[in-house]
Amino acid sequence: MEEEKKIAVIGGGSWATALVKILCNNVSSVNWYMRNEVAVAHILKFRHNPKYLQSVEFDLDKINVSTDLNETIRNSDIVIIATPSAFLVKLFEDFPIELFEGKPVFSAVKGIIPEYNAIPARFIHKTFGTPYDNIGIICGPCHAEEVALERLSYLTIASQEDEIAEEMAELLACRYIKTTVSDDLFGTEISAVLKNVYSIASGICSGLGYGDNFQSVLISNAIQEIENLIDEMSPIHRDVKSSAYLGDLLVTAYSKFSRNRNFGFMIGKGYSVKTAQLEMDMVAEGYYATKSVMEISKKFQVEMPIVEAVYNVIYERISPVIEMRILSDRLS
């Protein structure tokens, strides 16, 4: 019988918490790295993450939770990174990259690495030397909060190598999680970055009082922008109407659990960017992604009016009222 592979989950937020919960359905041991010593102590004593998805109770017989990143990865065969993109460079600063050698690395990061304007797959490849065939992405449409409630959810696992995508899909499939695989590593990851920007746009418009009719036009234009950019960046055949693209966009733009939408909603209601960030006390990946995507769209010469509008509001401090009125004339 083949020996069970050991899985590492890197991160202490809601997605990392959800992934640990899911994996415990199918494996006997999960190595979980968290940098917050207080949170680790709380989990070891009370079996709950003190800050994220507090309703999830962990079976500590199946989880090795640690603040030692090197040991967590050294003792694992497969690595899942679920740390916010803004903190990845700092997290792996001075990290012994040989610990990644030969190990499949999956990204559950829903953002862009702001220091390099790079998607996580490219960061993993360049930083650790991991071949693209040994890199995968775990994407939605799926909110961690509904995983905690064990509501039926769907995950897409994308990799250029079918075997590692299928292996991860099997590890994550359970009673309340259905999985599909894709070979579109770059397209799904770029789309996962972009949907956070459009979710901010949706939130801003909702905060300003725009209704469902306008939102439907906004999101239908958003999926066109996504398709235009990913086709330029990674020109392979794909159907952006499928769950990994359109589905992920819809759930992020409309759900009450979407932190990017909530961030945008507060801005639409008159909060400053700084105040909205402090009020949320959580990372809205779309904030960092907006600036990077603006630069990428210029590089590839793709017009993205919605991204431009969000950028003008959160970085150029143009009034949301004025900017969304201008945007409404550019949509069709």
Q: What is the pLDDT of residues 1-35, one digit of tens each?
A: 356 889 999 999 999 999 999 999 999 899 999 99
pLDDT for position 4: 85
- Average pLDDT taken over every residue of the chain: 94
Q: Which domains does the chain have, with CATH numbers?
A: 7-183 (3.40.50.720), 187-330 (1.10.1040.10)
| Interstrand relation of 135-139 and 153-159 (parallel, antiparallel or unpaired) | antiparallel
pLDDT for position 284: 83
Q: How far apart are CA 75 and CA 99, in angstroms?
A: 9
Would you say 122 and 189 are in contact if contact means Cβ atoms under 8 Å apart? no
For CA atoms 106, 112, 115, 121, give the dihedral sign.
positive
Would you say 246 and 306 are in contact if contact means Cβ atoms under 8 Å apart? no
Average pLDDT, integer, range 134-145: 93
